[in-house]
Amino acid sequence: MIDFIKELYPICRSITGNGVRETLNLINRHIPLKIHEVPTGTKVLDWEIPKEWNIRDAYVKDSSGKKIIDFKQLNLHVLNYSTPIRAKMSLAELKPHLFSIPDKPSLIPYRTSYYAENWGFCISHDQLTSLHDDLYDVVIDTDLSTGNLTYAEYYLKGKTREEVLISTHICHPSLCNDNLSGIAVCTYLASALSKTRPHYSYRFLFIPGTIGAIAWLALNENGLKHIKYGLVTSLLGIDSIFTYKRSRIGNAGIDRIVEHVLSLQDIQYKIIDFIPYGYDERQFCSPGYNLPVGNLTRVPFGEYPEYHTSADNFDLISDKALNDSLAVFHEVIRHIEADRKFINQYPKGEPRLGKRGLYDNIGGRNDSKILQLAFLWVLNYSDGEHSLTDIAMLSGLDLSIILEATDMLKEKQLIK
């Protein structure tokens, strides 16, 4: 995943434009994406698709001709969505367009100006305070014009149309944890799932934040009824706690499952209730939709000092953290796949297991006592109300033994 992030890191992404398309093309090498283009001006819910932004170059030269700020060194240097400019100006004229973080003076901030036309540069506060009066040559070579908003979906058809939605934002430029880690984990998860035949259908969304989710919801309202579980994710690259923010529903299947999976891992985690602030769960959990969508990250957004700065780079993330995050997602999906209900065909009294070869010393295996217990749990709670995942939670038995017992009971037609 680190190697994949290294490919994605240099691309200047935004909420629209060729950076998004290039990113989706790289993801498309791992999983077959369906790429959608939504034209500028399209009405989506209470919003409108903005003009498309593309950038070729941006720099500031001092009077000696030396580039003192150079977009090509680091794309965070340009205020994302800057309008074009070509001018010579004094420091006093330039300064209102320079952005820094005074209390983190060595870091370059990531700033955007999507919905208010402006131009600017982001630099370290150390550099800002060292600038002297001069005649600066300011160039931002961008287009902000009629075009499209681009997003992509990967859909994996399961045995049922009931659907699991996994969404990550793809609009941040060179930032590793805040959004590239999410792209990498979602891509690898989708790729692994694509080699299986899942029960549920899976839909992965690679969308620009906010406007992408709003556009997708507006264009896909008819399909929303199929969504049974959902997660918005990113921030998966730092070796830190896991954080799960519940759906607005609060006790949806996804909430029960993620909380259970986190409780089984040898990791620190915290669970928080839904708040209408954060990532795209804000849109999926808006009251008109109220979808069963939670948010699973490591350390939450805004709560690590490198957040939205040049320090969100390769020093911050690790292969171990990415792999641990991916493993948690695999566990969540394993539990979603088992969130299916069976019906005991002999619910009055216990069926006789012995005459069906399901009692004691099955094949001489040393876990036959646990398997025995699993038969009893699955039979008793296969009442049409409880899923296999529920039974694993109730019994405290590992999901794999519950699944194995279920297969054997099914084969003997004790449950269906």
# of chain residues touching Zn ion (CB under 5 A): 1
CA distance linking residue 396 with residue 261, whole number of Å? 12
Non-local CB neighbours of 276 within 8 Å, separated by 6+ positions: 282, 285, 286
Q: What is the dihedral of CA 247, 217, 335, 344, to 10 degrees?
A: 100
> Can residue 306 be called a binding residue for Zn ion (CB under 5 A)?
no
Q: Closest distance between Zn ion and the C-beta of residue 251, in Å? A: 29
Q: How far is the CA of 23 from the CAs of 35, 153, 283, in angstroms?
A: 11, 13, 23
Instruction: Give 201 or 243: the residue with its C-beta nearer to Zn ion.
Output: 243
We find the least distance from the C-beta atom of residue 175 to Zn ion, in angstroms, to be: 7
| The two three-digit tokens of residue 73, written as one number | 């060194």
| 178 or 280: CB nearest Zn ion | 178
Taking the least distance from each CB to Zn ion, the nearer of 172 and 248 is 172
Instruction: CB nearer to Zn ion: give 170 or 258.
Output: 170
Smallest distance, Zn ion to C-beta of residue 153, A: 21
Position closest to Zn ion via CB: 178
- Asked if 345 and 411 touch (Cβ cutoff 8 Å), the reply is no
Binding to Zn ion (CB under 5 A) within 177-196 occurs at 178
Rg (CA), the chain: 26
Footprint (CB under 5 A) of Zn ion, residues 160-179? 178
d(CA 235, CA 207): 15
Minimum gap (Å) between residue 342 Cβ and Zn ion = 43
Closest distance of CB 233 from Zn ion, Å: 13
Output the smallest distance, CB 312 to Zn ion, in A.
9
- Least distance from Zn ion to the Cβ atom of residue 178, Å: 4
Task: Give the shortest CB-159-to-Zn ion separation in angstroms.
Answer: 36
Element (H, E) at 321: helix 319-337
Q: Which is nearer to Zn ion, 147 or 173 (CB)?
A: 173
Alpha carbon distance, N-terminus to C-terminus of the chain: 41
Q: Considering beta carbons, is residue 151 or 200 the nearer one to Zn ion?
A: 151
Site string for Zn ion, 123-162 (x = CB under 5 A): ----------------------------------------
CA 96/CA 265 separation, integer angstroms = 49
Nearer to Zn ion, 60 or 180 (CB): 180
Shortest Å distance, C-beta 78 to Zn ion: 16
Given a contact cutoff of 8 angstroms between Cβ atoms, the answer to whether 31 and 154 are in contact is yes
CB contact set of 88 (below 8 Å; sequence gap of 6+): 135, 136, 137, 138
Half-sphere CA count of 406, side-chain side, radius 13 A: 22
Nearest-angstrom CA–CA distance, 109 and 15: 18
Instruction: Provide φ and ψ at 128, rounded to 5°.
Output: -60, -45
Looking at the Cβ atoms of 178 and 306, the one nearer to Zn ion is 178
Cβ closer to Zn ion: 167 or 382?
167
Q: How far apart are CA 338 and CA 253, in angstroms?
A: 11
- Site residues for Zn ion per CB under 5 A: 178
